[in-house]
A and B are shown apart, each in its own frame.
Chain A
Amino acid sequence: DAGITQSPRHKVTETGTPVTLRCHQTENHRYMYWYRQDPGHGLRLIHYSYGVKDTDKGEVSDGYSVSRSKTEDFLLTLESATSSQTSVYFCAISESNPGGNIYGYTFGSGTRLTVV
C-alpha cells in the first residue's frame, strides 16, 4: 500500500482522554490526509497536510488536531476523546505522475478507535 503504515490498528480509550494516531509513509509523498469512516457517511476529511508543518482543516475537524514535523509522519490527535469520535480512521497519501499532477490516492489499513 505505497508504504503507508497506521498505528495502532485498534484502540479502546476512555472519554476525556487524549489519543494520538500515527500515519507513517516511506515514499516521500508531499500530501497526506486523515479521514474518518462512519456508516451512512462514507469517508469524511478531518485534516490534511501539504508539506512539513503545513496543515489545513477538512470538513469534520472539530475536536481534532494534527501535526507534521517530518515528511514521513502525520499525527492525528483527539484532544479529549468523546463517544462521537468512535470511528475507523484512515490515513491517505496522494500520488503524482512524473509531471507532478496528482492522479491517485492510496489509503492505509485503518485504525479502529472505540471511545467508551
Chain B
Amino acid sequence: GEDVEQSLFLSVREGDSSVINCTYTDSSSTYLYWYKQEPGAGLQLLTYIFSNMDMKQDQRLTVLLNKKDKHLSLRIADTQTGDSAIYFCAERGNTGTASKLTFGTGTRLQVTL
C-alpha cells in the first residue's frame, strides 16, 4: 500500500527557517498536503500542492515537490514560537473511490528562543 514517511522531530531557533521533509511511495498521488496540529487540537490544513506543480508559496510557507524523487518539503520562513506543533504530510492517491488520504507519522517542530 501507499506509504508516507517523515522525520519525527525538528528543533529550530526563533527567526530561523524550518524545513520539514516528507517522502511518499504512491506514484499516482494527485494532491499532497501539509497539516498542522497543536497540542490537544485537531488538524489544520496549512497548504496543499497539486502533483503537476513543483512549488507553491503562501506567505511564510513554501512547498517544494520533487515528483521524480517523490519528495515533498515544507519551508517555514522566520519561524515563530507559535509554529511549534506537529506537522503532518499527507498524500491523496488517484485510485478507487473517495480518494483517501494517507498520512505520515508527523514531525514535531520545536521552536526555541
Contacts and interface: CB of A to CB of B under 8 A. Distances in A.
Are A and B associated in one complex?
A: yes
B41 interface: yes
Contacts, number: 59
Contacts of B12: none
B1 A59 contact: yes
A43 B88 contact: yes
Interface string B90-106: 10100001111111111
Given A42-B105, A90-B43, A31 B48 contact: no
Nearest to A105: B101
Instruction: Point out which of A33, A41, A105, A106 has the most chain B C-beta atoms below 10 A from its C-beta.
Output: A105
B101 A45 contact: yes
A98 to B, nearest CB: 16
A114 to B, nearest CB: 15
Given A42-B106, A44-B103, A1 B42 contact: yes
A42 B42 contact: no
Contact of A43 (B97, B98, B103): B103
A50 B97 CA distance: 8
Given A42-B4, A42-B104, 17 more contacts: A31-B99, A33-B98, A35-B103, A40-B105, A45-B101, A48-B98, A49-B98, A56-B97, A59-B1, A90-B43, A102-B31, A102-B92, A103-B48, A104-B33, A105-B90, A106-B45, A109-B42
